[in-house]
Amino acid sequence: MLNWFLMNQVTELTLVGLTDNPRLQALLFILFLLIYFIVLVGNLGMVVLIRSSAQLQSPMYFFLSNLSLLDACYSSVVAPKTLKNLLMGKKTISVTGCASQLYFFIALGTTVCFLLAAMPLLYSSIMSHRVCMLLVVSSYVLGLLHSWVHTEFAFSLLLCQPAKVNHFYCETTPVLALSCIDTRVNKCLIFGLGGLVEVVTISAVLVSYVFILAAVSRISSAQGRYKRKAFSTCTSHLTTVSIFYGACFFMYLNPSSDSSRGADKWAVVLYTMVTPMLNPLIYSLRNKEVKEALRRLLKIK
């Protein structure tokens, strides 16, 4: 990447954004600000609640606290810059800022994928604290390495003027579109390496749910209330996972064109803002133990 900075004359990039309509920009600013506020309060609140409650120290909640922290960080890579651009109207970003945004976006997104793949619902019976730590650390390491490959290859290219990124943040495909040289290797990385990560992790999630649903189906009819609750929880989890992976597949495994970029942008909004906003509700706040821990914490305060 150092050679790129030495050779390239482009020091600032322009982000096209979601819209040029001033009224729509104002509405989007209010909407995104509200969503981002809920994301931070919901996810960071879950982290504090889980870490401070003695009854929430099981492996399940250890994973949920890490997922909540990742969701808050993941949204923070994109949301603040997007809000600033919507408010100020100056949709620019430095090259170093663009590279950093791309790196952390891919790293955190990949880490979420691996963490979701490592989160079966029955971990309390199969995972020790040491195994949980190993899985979480491995998810972060794999995410950082995967992101380094994509970012290194993307910013080893010579960019052409005008340096206008057809997105509201620095995403891989629009950045590659600025290149003056052939980007086939980069595109192969997106479809190959990126596709491999997604296929492997979603397969692990689906296999976990097959075993979970099989176990739930064996619950006797006398325990029908618990059976309905378990199926409801699994459905909620799968809904969130489907939104996240569906948007990812649409973004990185669908051949992009200029006509599809508008849909790509809204897909990013789904898995960077909407899904992290829903996760505290679907994964945690519907849980009886979490509600009880929250009541105890509020009572103490």
Whether the predicted pLDDT of 284 surpasses 80: no
**All domains in the chain, ordered by first residue:** 2-300 (1.20.1070.10)
Q: What is the mean pLDDT of residues 159-183?
A: 81
CA dist., res. 277 & res. 75, Å (int): 9
Closest CA to 282 of 119, 51, 169, 132: 119
Whether the predicted pLDDT of 258 surpasses 60: no
Q: What is the mean pLDDT of residues 27-33?
A: 92
Q: Quote the tokens at residue 234.
A: 């699994």
Give tens-digit pLDDT for 42-87.
999 889 888 888 777 777 788 888 989 999 998 999 999 899 888 8
pLDDT number for residue 301: 57
Q: What is the mean pLDDT of the chain?
A: 79
Closest CA to 147 of 137, 157, 139: 139
pLDDT number for residue 259: 42
Cβ atoms within 10 Å, residue 147: 20
pLDDT number for residue 30: 93
Residue located via tokens 């600033």 = 84
Among positive and negative, which fits the CA dihedral 96, 261, 35, 105? negative
Q: Tell me which amino acid residue 99 is.
A: A
Q: What is the mean pLDDT of residues 196-201?
A: 86
Q: What global pTM score does this model have?
A: 0.84
- Cα 280 to Cα 89, 102, 258: the distances in Å are 32, 25, 35
Identity of the highest mean pLDDT range in 24-33, 187-196, 197-206, 259-268: 24-33
Cβ atoms within 10 Å, residue 178: 20
Which phi and psi (to 5°) does residue 179 adopt? -70, 145
C-alpha R_g of the chain: 21
The DSSP output letter for 155 is: T
CA dist., res. 82 & res. 101, Å (int): 12
Q: Tell me which amino acid residue 157 is.
A: L
Give tens-digit pLDDT for 79-135.
998 998 888 877 888 888 888 999 999 999 899 889 888 877 555 456 677 888 888
Least confident of 96-100, 159-163, 284-288: 284-288
Least confident of 73-77, 251-255, 278-282: 251-255
- Cα 261 to Cα 135, 148, 177, 182: the distances in Å are 35, 24, 12, 21
